[in-house]
Amino acid sequence: MIVPDYSPDPGAATLRTAQGSLDLSRPVCMGVLNLTPDSFYDGASLGAARDGKFRIDVDKALRRADGMLAEGARLIDVGGESTRPGAREVPLQEELDRVLPVVEALLARLDAIVSVDTSSPEVMQAVAAAGAGMINDVRALRRPGAVEAAAGTDMAVCLMHMRGEPGTMQEEPEYEDVVAEVAEFLRRRADAAIAAGIDPQRIVIDPGFGFGKNTQHNFTLLRELRQFTEFGYPVLAGLSRKSMIGAATGRVPEQRLPGSIAAVMLALHGGARIIRSHDVAATVDAIGVHSMLLEES
């Protein structure tokens, strides 16, 4: 593949989104707004089954997002497809029905940069038309048509590493060198995005904690996170209440906030610029403490 000649700026700290530039000179928190009935942590809290179908309560979702913004979130990540280990794939129409009304309401009523967690080119086009700022794709634009769909918008894109698919990804993942393999994957996906016409300043990369990795892989990636910043793209880290925190603390998801914040501190120390979290206030506090460390006296 021919890739445009591009020398990334290692200090790149501004992200271009379809809703304007986001300053990342100080790291920011992305709050999770989960629209799936089966999330491992906050499942179904924003909707209920009606007529045998899961339906979102849009007002409840708006209140939750408003609360996260008040706590200091700079982005709201809206997701209608469950990517937890073993999850089934959600049909396109179901994903659109869950996501679009909430995205439209958020954009109309709140001053938020809206990120949409999707791998589907149709959903990307629909939310771009609605005015959303960013795509968060756990499949890194690998679905047929996804790179082209993203390139046809002005949205920022988060390219995440996942080994396999959610249905199978935790079946004994193996790597020779997890850091090198994940880095190589992300470099290739960023190159493919740029080759399709996506401005490098729209790209975010993410090693994908918990996606086809065992506990040791996850902690190796966390320890070596700094290496991922060398591509010059902002690095996003999603650690919130994940099983790696459970493995380290012996705690169930409801009790994993302190462990998650400890891991957030390590990710910030490794250069992460966007922290995806269910717990915005605590994450913003961690960012505040970390940022003081970097102040010149």
| Piece of 182-190, 202-210, 213-221, 226-234 that binds ligand 8Y7 (CB under 6 A) | 202-210
Residue 228 sits in the site that holds ligand 8Y7 (CB under 6 A): no
From the CB of 142, what's the least distance to ligand 8Y7, in Å?
A: 14
Look at residues 233, 238, 190, 189 and name the one whose alpha carbon lies nearest to residue 218: 238
Output the CA angle 277-55-255, nearest 5 degrees: 30
Q: CA 122, CA 231: separation in Å to the nearest integer? A: 29
Q: Which is nearer to ligand 8Y7, 163 or 292 (CB)?
A: 163
Angstrom CA distances, 52 to 48, 49, 55, 101, 221, stand at 10, 6, 9, 19, 41
131 phi and psi angles, rounded to 5 deg? 105, 15
From the CB of 129, what's the least distance to ligand 8Y7, in Å?
A: 22
Output the CA angle 161-18-182, nearest 5 degrees: 10
From the CB of 39, what's the least distance to ligand 8Y7, in Å?
A: 7
Q: Which is nearer to ligand 8Y7, 136 or 153 (CB)?
A: 136
Choosing from 138, 140, 263, 286, the residue that interacts with ligand 8Y7 (CB under 6 A) is 138
Query: Which of 74, 139, 189, 242 is flagged as catalytic?
Result: 242
| Piece of 10-18, 60-68, 98-106, 204-212 that binds ligand 8Y7 (CB under 6 A) | 204-212
From the CB of 106, what's the least distance to ligand 8Y7, in Å?
A: 17
Residue 259 sits in the site that holds ligand 8Y7 (CB under 6 A): no
| Piece of 11-19, 60-68, 233-241, 284-292 that binds ligand 8Y7 (CB under 6 A) | 233-241
**Contacts for 153 with CB less than 8 Å, ≥ 6 apart:** 18, 124, 125, 128, 135
Question: Binders of ligand 8Y7 among 68-107, rule CB under 6 A?
Answer: 79, 83
* Residue 276 falls in the annotated catalytic set: yes
Q: Which residue is nearest to ligand 8Y7 (CB)?
A: 238
Question: Binders of ligand 8Y7 among 36-75, rule CB under 6 A?
Answer: none
Angstrom CA distances, 33 to 44, 101, 120, stand at 11, 13, 18
Residue 242 sits in the site that holds ligand 8Y7 (CB under 6 A): yes
Choosing from 54, 185, 209, 228, the residue that interacts with ligand 8Y7 (CB under 6 A) is 209
Choosing from 99, 147, 236, 280, the residue that interacts with ligand 8Y7 (CB under 6 A) is 236
Choosing from 136, 214, 218, 283, the residue that interacts with ligand 8Y7 (CB under 6 A) is 136
Active-site residue list: 242, 276
Binding interface with ligand 8Y7 (CB under 6 A):
32, 79, 83, 117, 136, 138, 158, 160, 206, 208-209, 236, 238, 240, 242, 276
